[in-house]
Amino acid sequence: MNKIVVLGAGYAGLTAAVNLAARTKHRDDVHITLVNAAERFTERLRLHQVASGQRVADFRIPELLRDTGVEFVRGWVTGLDATARTVRVDDQRVLEFDTLVYALGSVARTSTVPGADIHAYTLDSTHDAELLARRLSEPGAPTVAVCGSGLTGVEAAAEIAEQHPAADVVLLGRQEPGAALGERARAHVRAALDRLGVRVRDEVEIVKVLPGSVELAGGESVTADVVLWTSGVTASPLASAAGLEVDELGRIVTDSSLRSVTHPHVYAVGDAAAVRQRFGVLHGTCQSGMPTGVHAAVSITAELKGRRPKAFRFGYLHTPVSLGRHDAVVQFTRPDHSPKRLVLTGRRAVWYKETVSAAPWPSFARMRTMPRSGSFAWRRGGRYTR
């Protein structure tokens, strides 16, 4: 029996498990196990909505795995022995594997600034986002400091400002909001934040988070009743502790086929993988994460048939950014993520983001029913080649 274990049921891990199950559904010598800490699927693309107090769809992993034959194990992964090929769950259960798909994702990097891990909220999980939502629902008009002017910070600041118009929302970061976007898209982002009343402080360095304030380099202090940390991410230390080669963010370093360079029976996908392409290392998004899950499934299937896995190739297509529920911007990009001239704004961008980039469920449905010999060409997030 070929035992395949997938750790993590985010976009990449769930994609890998479902796609692999579809490709091996007529084989009785393959058993797939998916391990995740929660039964509910976390839509990370919508956590800023949850944090602002909105209700989103409740997807349950067992239901998403229905009729796939994948065994679901709910529990925290507490140990990995990549050499002995075992995984420890909740310090009680030990799972053996022949092939591992490591998809444990990433969390907010709060260790870089003193006080951030104690005094700031994060968007690492549905539970974390709900904690922030409960705080924002309390009476009063709080000052909310969103630390990090990347796209996660932009989306969160816009959503909170729209849902809580009495709040004073300030966005703090080193870069201009939407810095990687084209000029027209950046201008739209800035105009939307201005319209929503978000105060933007860019070109600032956060050096400390305190109860009730955020301290900046140079001694300035920004008053804040609530602090949300969106500045940078890091991977779980589990891979490093297991002896796998990782990069400075704890992501598993992979070869061209997404296998660990030190343990080739371990595939790394999504935010947990340092995947290098010709234009650089992929940054963690649903757009690139789900294709890595597909590629891992294709590669493992090939290995089961005695074939060598092929190299993973990917190119970005777009950068969609929500600006509340009634506005958005979609910057179309070249494969290396540099901006093209084409930009969607306003309601057209809202429709595009909700229909094209934030609705992966039709893809999961196609994977569950794909024929044994069928191919799955990933087109939504960019170019994917088997």
357: which DSSP letter? I
Q: What three-state secondary structure class fits 183?
A: helix
Verify that 6 and 95 share a domain, yes or no: yes
Tell me how far apart the alpha carbons of residues 220 and 237 are, in angstroms, rounded to a whole number.
Answer: 34
Verify that 130 and 253 share a domain, yes or no: no
Verify that 171 and 101 share a domain, yes or no: no
Tell me how far apart the alpha carbons of residues 34 and 14 are, in angstroms, rounded to a whole number.
Answer: 8
Verify that 41 and 177 share a domain, yes or no: no
Verify that 36 and 130 share a domain, yes or no: no
Tell me how far apart the alpha carbons of residues 296 and 14 are, in angstroms, rounded to a whole number.
Answer: 11
Select from 184, 200, 229 the last residue of a domain: 229
pLDDT at position 368, please?
60
Verify that 95 and 244 share a domain, yes or no: yes
Verify that 9 and 35 share a domain, yes or no: yes
Q: Is residue 346 part of a domain?
A: no
Q: What is the pTM of this model?
A: 0.92
pLDDT at position 375, please?
39
Verify that 53 and 158 share a domain, yes or no: no
Verify that 244 and 361 share a domain, yes or no: yes
104: its two tokens? 């444990």
Q: Is residue 121 part of a domain?
A: yes
Domain count, the chain: 2
Q: Is residue 265 part of a domain?
A: yes
pLDDT at position 284, please?
77
Q: Is residue 336 part of a domain?
A: no
Residue with tokens 């190739």: 313
310: which DSSP letter? P
213: its two tokens? 């304030």
Select from 197, 212, 229 the last residue of a domain: 229
Verify that 100 and 122 share a domain, yes or no: no
Select from 229, 258, 277 the last residue of a domain: 229
Q: Is residue 337 part of a domain?
A: no
State in Å, rounded, how far the first CA of the chain is from the last one. Answer: 25
Q: Is residue 65 part of a domain?
A: yes
One pLDDT digit (tens) per residue for the chain, 386 residues: 999 999 999 999 999 999 999 999 999 999 999 999 999 999 999 999 999 999 999 999 999 999 999 999 999 999 999 999 999 999 889 999 999 999 999 999 999 999 999 999 999 999 999 999 999 999 999 999 999 999 999 999 999 999 999 999 999 999 999 999 999 999 999 999 999 999 999 999 999 999 999 999 999 999 999 999 999 999 999 999 999 999 999 999 999 999 999 999 999 999 999 999 999 999 878 889 999 999 999 999 999 999 999 999 999 999 999 999 999 999 999 999 999 999 999 999 999 998 886 666 566 666 665 544 443 444 333 343 33
Q: Is residue 11 part of a domain?
A: yes
Range of the domain at 256: 2-107+234-315+351-385
Write the CATH number for 56: 3.50.50.60
Tell me how far apart the alpha carbons of residues 125 and 87 are, in angstroms, rounded to a whole number.
Answer: 22
Bridging pattern class, strands 86-89 and 221-223: unpaired
Verify that 177 and 310 share a domain, yes or no: no
Verify that 114 and 103 share a domain, yes or no: no
Q: Is residue 338 part of a domain?
A: no
